[in-house]
Structure 1
């Protein structure tokens, strides 16, 4: 069964599970991947297929992150129950391929590892993989191992209630063990982040963006995304001539570049999206990743494409875009957004 939902000379959209769809695509056919997978335990995107239960029931896995990702481990009399998610109203079985509702954090990390292994196959040798992840706090002693602490004789690693879980770095280090090279851990600072009701900690106003590559030689051109130089001092005061201390560089250096490297802290405000999608990142973020990390005329992939913000940036920069999502209505949102955007005036390659 074909997963293709839409295609034109600059865009290709697929409906289905990220790993399943990527498995059908040719190797080394992508130059740049920019994506933001669903966060563990945060949202249910309503992609489940329900089996059994009451036909008229408005099925739900629960209202809290802990409820949505938990499964029963024991049945009546202590017997082992099926580790399947059930509707909390009628008991219908949920069969769902969406990411983020795994029972344990380790399952989530390993699932992203499986998707990243497929990304490695699709990515060209000099390609770049930009992975946006946010952190979260533990609810009710969240489990990180294959089992959770549920009784005598059964134990698993847990993150205690209210603790920051370190999700981005858990994923990044897992990918590093798979062979990925972590070239940057960019902090995306959100100046206009939503108000945080917590009073016993400071508000979280950042997410992580990891730049991952397959080999030491790869395509990133930071000169494409330079920031303006400070104009506070005259040019002659910006010249560096070295110092007199031991081991100090003695050769002169003068800032002749039209701008400066943006560094690894990106301050980008979120932008509201009136359509029904929960968490789009601002176009500034994928735009910078693609501009620096994808050659002209290259192919961009987002395996968790959502409302198509990566596609919008790719269109503006004249790159071919391929998006994958479980929900076709999110592709409809993306197509409406793309319809109002004009591609760059360059020749685009045919899709592989």
Structure 2
């Protein structure tokens, strides 16, 4: 390009060709966020991010950034913000660790990694994933051409900056505040050039302009590179850059990166404490890699259940910690999250991973760790729920109805039993309170049929099914199936309904429901006073809130498959014999009821009557499978609380390592153990309140005596 620039410039063209246009050793700071792999298609030829594999994507960026390094001054700094991606290539979706693999290969290519800043986004995008934490942060890699550079490593390692709303047509704009924060970390001088090789809508140039226009700031200038014609127009409008140069594309070759496995010189240290999962936080890199190497041993795999969940962290980490965590897929595991534990001045990673099993899903009870709202919204439940929409998703086809009567409430006024009208029909439905979801949907208890002791695991598809108290082998035949007990809250309602010839979820004609004779002492006498004639226009619309009718209990599919298998064998029937007794539409689905892997399925409630008729059974698990309930769905502040996400800030709800370990263990321990722990915690809280009240009473009493 020749000579030092004294004004802003926009280079319009392919990034590699545009970098070639710049003088070597001319750039003080580069700051950018390239298109993420397979995230968005910008619809122009030669774009970055649409490579076939992540290895090609990383290899291409390594090549481009090698050229960028030539353009940096010897003391220059490169700030690289890049997001991650999941790839469903290994059975379950695997976190690719793209930022840290890229950093690893850039360091191999000659860069120095000075720092990794965590950008936490308080208003992050929500996620529908229920088997992992929601992503709430992105890393900013700080790379240098030499160790003697202008980076000032004194500011916090974590920055909390919300995503910025913009009117510009671009779905991946990083906020101006992030650029401001980054540029505060370098020692700038007049005439310094700030480069953004993937300029997008020109946010970096906007911030550079604001810094330069401030009377007391440095007279710095921006160099923007952008390939997309539409974005070039936006940059010109936003930044008023006058000098725009069109650069002709050039051909260049790059090679996909090749990743390696865990280091061979590391001694494995298998963590063998809990067969259901492990929480292990290493103090340094050596301990961490030894523990990570331990998961490759048969000893580790044999000790743990196939559905176990693991959390391995390291406090004093380096880049290799972040890189090698990705390689566990080579040993039959999937990386699901990289959690960040932070106190602002520093952070460390905790990796959540599980076996890449095609037979069972790992345990992950997200609702247990939701953050409760600080203030509860006061609502008139009775007034709001009449007329609320109900979507029945428990059957083969989804149908809609609406609540016409609340028969019973929880203590806080939330409906407990309601009547739902469905196009001329009606049903009495049990409603799951959002705060009791774990206790109800996971609330089944199982007991040994011989000694009646409670079982921790009702059925283990990959282990030994034996009562630990009396040694009874379980699941051999129908006589050795565990006894099932429903939560008292549900069984009492079910019994009262059945005494009045109703069943939870039973669909009846409205006239049949009104004609039923109920005892005068029953709360369900209120059925006679339902205003069935309410027109749709008279019903209250509940924008964003509704109920779904679904299976009441969460039951593992292998458990159901084993039960149906024993039923089938007790009648000396093959799977084909069962299929032959079903309607034709079941020919391709019924066989899946007997599978104990991810290809299996659980019969829907309306299928249960067919199964009862085939095997001539009425109770047991089939009754449980038929149970349905209404679950509250809302887009408002959830009663259950907020998904905490993959960023954990010390001091919020985690005070120390013990708190963190307990917090993570809540995600996989069995429901009966969790319920016991919560009950103990509630009891402890009550005792604390009681002690406090006693102290206050004693204090007031003493004051009265004085």
**Both structures adopt the same fold (TM-score exceeding 0.5):** yes
* Structure-1 separation of matches of 2:184 and 2:224: 18
Q: State the superposition RMSD in angstroms.
A: 1.9
Contact 2:79 2:141 in 1 (8 A): yes
1:93 matched residue in structure 2: none
1:322 equivalent to 2:223? Answer yes
**Which piece of structure 1 moves more, 291-300 or 304-313?**
291-300
- Contact residue 28 and residue 77 of structure 2 kept, 8 A: yes
Paired residues for 1:127-166 under 5 Å = 127-139=76-88, 141=89, 160-166=91-97
* 2:119 paired residue among 158, 170, 188: 188
Residue 208 (structure 1) aligns with: 139
Residues 1-352 of structure 1: pairs in structure 2 closer than 5 A: 10-48=7-45, 97-139=46-88, 141=89, 160-221=91-152, 261-293=154-186, 295-297=188-190, 298-318=192-212, 319-339=220-240
TM-score by length of 1: 0.62
CA distance in 2, matches of 1:16, 1:36: 17
> 1:160 Cα deviation (Å)?
4.9
Local SS of the residue matching 1:186: strand
| Distance in 1 separating the partners of 2:7 and 2:138 | 30
In structure 2, the residue matched to 1:92 is: none
Greater share of residues in helix = 2
Per the TM alignment, residue 9 of structure 1 is displaced from its structure 2 partner at its CA by 5.5
Q: 1:34 and 1:160, CA in 2 relative to 1: closer, same or farther beyond 3 A? A: farther
Q: TM-score if structure 2 supplies the norm length?
A: 0.32
Q: Structure 1 pair 28/9, CA: closer, same or farther in 2 (3 Å)? A: closer
Evaluate the alpha carbon distance shift between residue 216 and residue 20 of structure 1 in structure 2; reply closer, same or farther with a 3 A threshold.
same
Deviations 1:153-201 (A, max 9, x none): xxxxxx5541111110010001010111111111110000111111221
**Inter-partner Cα distance in structure 1 for 2:70 and 2:155:** 30
Q: Which fold has the larger relative contact order, with Cα–Cα distance below 8 Å and residues 6 or more apart in sequence? A: 1
Alpha-carbon distance, 1:335 to partner: 2.6
Q: Is the 8 A contact 1:127 1:293 kept in 2?
A: no
Tell me how far apart the structure 2 counterparts of residues 279 and 221 of structure 1 sit (CA, whole Å): 28
Mean Cα deviation higher: 127-136 or 192-201: 192-201
Q: Distance in 2 between matches of 1:316 and 1:293?
A: 17
Q: Displacement, 1:315?
A: 1.2
- Cα contact 1:28–1:124 (8 A) shared by 2: yes
Contact kept in structure 1, 2:85 and 2:97, CA below 8 Å: yes
Dislocated runs of 4+, deviation >6 Å: none
Q: Work out whether residues 163 and 174 of structure 2, in 8 Å CA contact, stay in contact via their aligned partners in 1.
A: yes
Alignment match, 1:149: none
SS at match of 1:22: helix
Structure 1 counterpart SS, 2:67: helix
* Residue ranges of structure 2 left out of the alignment (5+ in a row): 213-219, 242-706
Cα deviation for residue 285 of structure 1 reads: 1.3
Q: Secondary structure at the match of 1:163?
A: strand
Deviation at 1:337, TM superposition (A): 2.2
1:123-146 CA distances to partner (integer Å, 9 max, x unpaired)? 00000000001111113x1xxxxx
Structure 1: stretches of 5+ with no match in the other structure: 3-7, 49-96, 142-158, 223-260, 342-352
Mean CA deviation greater in 38-47 or 193-202: 193-202
Deviation at 1:329, TM superposition (A): 1.9
- Larger C-alpha radius of gyration, 1 or 2? 2
Asked whether the 8 Å contact 1:127–1:219 carries over to 2, the reply is: yes
